[in-house]
Structure formats: C-alpha cells, structure tokens
Amino acid sequence: MMMMDESIERARCEELAKSSSFYRKVYSEIEEVGWESLRRLGGDLTLFSFHILDNKGRAHILELQLDRDYPKCPPSLSSDVPYMFTLEWSTTSRLKDVMHLFQKMNDHQEGMRTLMNLKKEMWKHFPSICLQLSGVHLNVERAFGIDKSINI
C-alpha cells in the first residue's frame, strides 16, 4: 500500500512540475511578445489572443491555442484576416516567432492579392495552365514557411 501511495504521489509531483514548467514558459514567451498586445488569456494559459497592427495601421486579432505539450506541438492559429497560413514548427520555435511571421505575412498582403488577381486573369486565358498553379510557397524566415493556396 505504501509503494502505491508513493507512486501516486510521485506521479502527482511530476504532473505539477510539468504544469509549472508549462506556465513559466508561456509567461516568459508572452513577456517577450509584450503584455500590451495581449487581449485575452485563458485561465489555464492554453488559449489567448493578441492585438496586432499591420503595416497600414489596421488592427487584427491573432488567437492561439496551445497544447499542453507546447512547444513540442505547434499552436493552433486563427485570425480575422482573409487568409491563413500553415506554420512550419520546430521545438525551438517561440510565440514571438509566430507573431513575427504573422506580421511578415501582413506585409505580403498586397503581393498575395496581386498573385490571386494574376491567377484569375490567367484562368480566363489559359485554364489548363492554371490547374497546375494551385499553391504558392513563401519562405519568410528560416525557421518558418508559409503555404498559401490560391483557389478560384
């Protein structure tokens, strides 16, 4: 009976240590991004949103959902912009990298609009070629990439 109690207590302590480490990591990374841009923070620190201004001064909200195994698992992202990107994640990636990538993606908004308009025009004149041009891949940073599909 004593060994079982010790085993349960050890498992409980390990879980608390893991939670404590998770909380410290998330707080530290929010500190790097800046508390002033934080708009919402869930009590368990797995869901939060940031307020971001794009290069034209428009406000956007980026919502992140973290898995308890963060940073082993990438955050889930949602935002109020008309496009979404796929995050290429590594265990050394941080929240500030996500924010930086989101801001860089905003910088490329005009270019994405131009690409979409170009594809629409090409579709009118060369439909068979356009079937082969279903996606665009932008490498914004070394640790991240953006896969953007352009569908008509």
- Both tokens of 79, joined, read 């935002």
Query: What are the residue boundaries of the structural domains of the chain, listed by start?
Result: 2-149
Task: Select the CATH number that applies to the domain covering 2-149 from these four: 3.40.50.11270, 3.40.50.1860, 3.10.110.10, 3.30.70.270.
Answer: 3.10.110.10
pLDDT, one tens digit per residue, over 36-92 is 999 999 888 899 999 988 777 878 888 999 998 888 888 988 887 766 666 778 888
Q: For residue 66, with 0-12 CB atoms within 10 Å meaning exposed, 13-18 middle and 19 or more buried, which class applies? A: buried
Looking at the chain, the whole-number percentage of residues with pLDDT higher than 90 is 11
pLDDT, one tens digit per residue, over 70-80 is 888 889 888 87
pTM: 0.60
